[in-house]
Amino acid sequence: MRIPRVVLAAPASGAGKTSIATGLLAALRARGLAVSPHKVGPDYIDPSYHALAAGRPGRNLDPWLVGEQRVAPLFLHGALHPRRADVAVVEGVMGLFDGHATRAGFGSTAHVATLLAAPVVLVVDARSAGRSVAATVHGFRSFDPAVRIGGVVLNQVGTERHAEILRAAMAEIGMPVLGVLGRRPDLVTPSRHLGLVPAAERAAPARDAVAELGAAVGSGLDLDALLALAATAPDLPAEPWDARVAALEPVGSPVPAGPRPVVAVAGGPAFTFGYAETPELLAAAGAEVVGFDPTVDEALPAGTSGLIIGGGFPEVHAGALAANAALRSRVRAFAATGAPVAAECAGLLYLSSALDGAPMCGVLGEVTAAMTPRLTLGYREAAAVTDSVLAARGTTVHGHEFHRTVATPAAGGSTGGDARRGAAPAWRWRDASGVEVAEGFVRGAIHASYLHTHWAGVPGAAHRFVAAARAAHQTEAFRAAG
């Protein structure tokens, strides 16, 4: 199947990939093209800007989280939904060849570009260099013959003379220049402790920023040349990923007939981290997926039989979450019915008793959470410690951590401590030094953990969760509470 496509990469982080990718999506869409946005790696924030620019979900492509064999199928799925795209833009992560710390190049932008057989456009920050930029580009072009760099975008160019020097240097090595962008200090997306501020938290300012980026990229890049490069990508010998098939793996049994259990998925400004495939998998497994905003909604959606609270920034919105005492009480009562609750990172904090002193739901007993100066970041290979609503005991998953908080049981210790009040750890893994880590909480139908997973890479998770929601709906405790 052929989808014109191009990967935007850079020699290192901070070169302007996200701004240019977002602006390119907006500029191509302004031309009337259907554009499919994708992001290499586990990042949740950049895809929120991609989605604003493209008018369709931003989707992640991460070989570690979903497996190499699913990258091309997931790409095709995104490029075909909600309708077939005219072109796809894939934003890379970090430097072109930077990937998994212990597996050279695995999960890198270069790795994904080869899996997609896609040409690469190298975004080069030219602020402090002239002809030397050619040496950088030449080195990246020759480093891995399997990666085809089809052109460069010169970013942060100071003057017309600077641009002339850079263009001449690119001509020396026969590298096409697909665009030149000047310095625009006014086009800066605000950041904080985990990166850019998500688009959902900025609303109108984010839309304005995307429009300005689209105008800047539309005038600074040769869109026709870039589209011609994208059109050189060959057919992909893969079938599109299908949520209806994936939701039954490895179960194999069809979705039961009858009413669809309502699975409530937290959203709003506090819970912005999630992969587009998760609600698709839930729906394919037989659920009715309904969103809600814990900062303002005082009740769970009517008929809720399962609750998913993903990642985000509850630490930033702790005041609003704490002030919504009605919903916190209802979440606590819902969890007590034995209905399934899956909480990931931010969700774990929301289920704690307090976050930086602000009262939360108290579902996990005396677990408290607080911000720390230390960033916990990295890929993990984890095994399920016990049976849960997400995985059978012993199931191995690939996930990642990304947080500056710590959740601590009352008697001390982190989420790996022993003071769990009847809860088992959710996962075990070994850290970089080989020390075993026990993390998260599983108690009854509650699963709370810092570990982020992509359910397309965890076969059976959606089916297992929806089955638990369907079963919970039939219990006396649930009917009595509802």
Task: Name the more confident of 432 and 66.
Answer: 66
Q: pLDDT per residue over 93-144, tens digit each?
A: 999 999 987 788 899 999 999 999 999 999 999 998 999 999 999 999 999 9
> With 70 as the cut, is the pLDDT of residue 179 above it?
yes
Tally of domains in the chain: 2
Q: Are residues 169 and 275 in the same domain?
A: no
Note whether residue 237 is domain-resident: no
pLDDT of residue 259: 87
Q: Are residues 203 and 312 in the same domain?
A: no
Q: Are residues 388 and 331 in the same domain?
A: yes
> What pTM, to 2 d.p., does this model score?
0.93
Q: Are residues 69 and 132 in the same domain?
A: yes
Task: Name the more confident of 75 and 204.
Answer: 75
pLDDT (average), residues 37-48: 95
Note whether residue 270 is domain-resident: yes
> With 80 as the cut, is the pLDDT of residue 26 above it?
yes
Domain ranges, residue 217: 5-230
Residue 101 CB: number of other CB atoms within 10 A? Answer: 11
Q: Are residues 323 and 449 in the same domain?
A: yes
Mean pLDDT is lowest, of 46-55, 209-218, 240-249, 469-478, for 469-478
Note whether residue 318 is domain-resident: yes
Note whether residue 338 is domain-resident: yes
Q: Are residues 294 and 374 in the same domain?
A: yes
What are the beta bridge partners of residue 429?
437
When pLDDT is cut at 50, 70 and 90, the band that residue 413 belongs to is very low
When pLDDT is cut at 50, 70 and 90, the band that residue 182 belongs to is very high
Q: Are residues 127 and 61 in the same domain?
A: yes
C-alpha to C-alpha distance for 456 and 462, rounded to whole angstroms: 9
Note whether residue 238 is domain-resident: no
pLDDT of residue 464: 95
Annotated active-site positions, please? 345
Task: Name the more confident of 182 and 249.
Answer: 182
pLDDT (average), residues 66-93: 98
The last residue of one of the domains, among 203, 230, 257, is: 230
When pLDDT is cut at 50, 70 and 90, the band that residue 191 belongs to is low
pLDDT of residue 418: 39
Residue with tokens 């597996």: 103
The last residue of one of the domains, among 174, 196, 230, is: 230
**Closest-CA residue to 23 (of 269, 228, 208):** 208
Please say whether the beta carbons of 335 and 364 come within 8 A: no
Note whether residue 236 is domain-resident: no
Q: Are residues 137 and 71 in the same domain?
A: yes
Residue 224 CB: number of other CB atoms within 10 A? Answer: 10
- AA letter at 158: G
Give the Å distances, CA to CA, from 362 to 99, 270, 322, 334, 348.
38, 18, 11, 12, 10
Please say whether the beta carbons of 332 and 364 come within 8 A: no
pLDDT of residue 411: 56
CATH number of the domain at 411, please: 3.40.50.880
Token couple for 160:
């017309």
> With 60 as the cut, is the pLDDT of residue 180 above it?
yes
C-alpha to C-alpha distance for 425 and 387, rounded to whole angstroms: 11
pLDDT of residue 103: 82
pLDDT of residue 390: 97
User: What is the percentage of the chain residues whose pLDDT exceeds 90?
Assistant: 80
Q: pLDDT per residue over 338-357, tens digit each?
A: 999 999 999 999 999 999 99
Note whether residue 274 is domain-resident: yes
Determine the 3-state secondary structure of 441 from DSSP.
Answer: strand
CATH number of the domain at 181, please: 3.40.50.300
pLDDT of residue 193: 45
> With 80 as the cut, is the pLDDT of residue 186 above it?
no
Q: Are residues 222 and 285 in the same domain?
A: no
In the predicted model, what is the mean pLDDT of the chain?
A: 92
Q: Are residues 80 and 121 in the same domain?
A: yes
Q: pLDDT per residue over 305-328, tens digit each?
A: 999 999 998 888 999 999 999 999
> With 80 as the cut, is the pLDDT of residue 196 above it?
no
Q: Are residues 339 and 196 in the same domain?
A: no
- AA letter at 42: P
Measured CA angle at 168 (ends 215, 188), to 5 deg: 30
pLDDT of residue 171: 98
Q: Are residues 38 and 123 in the same domain?
A: yes
> With 50 as the cut, is the pLDDT of residue 14 above it?
yes
Task: Name the more confident of 205 and 444.
Answer: 444
Which regions of 337-459 does DSSP assign to beta strands (E)? 341-344, 354-355, 358-359, 368-384, 396-408, 427-430, 436-439, 441-443, 446-449, 452-453
The last residue of one of the domains, among 166, 195, 230, is: 230
> With 80 as the cut, is the pLDDT of residue 254 above it?
no
> With 70 as the cut, is the pLDDT of residue 9 above it?
yes
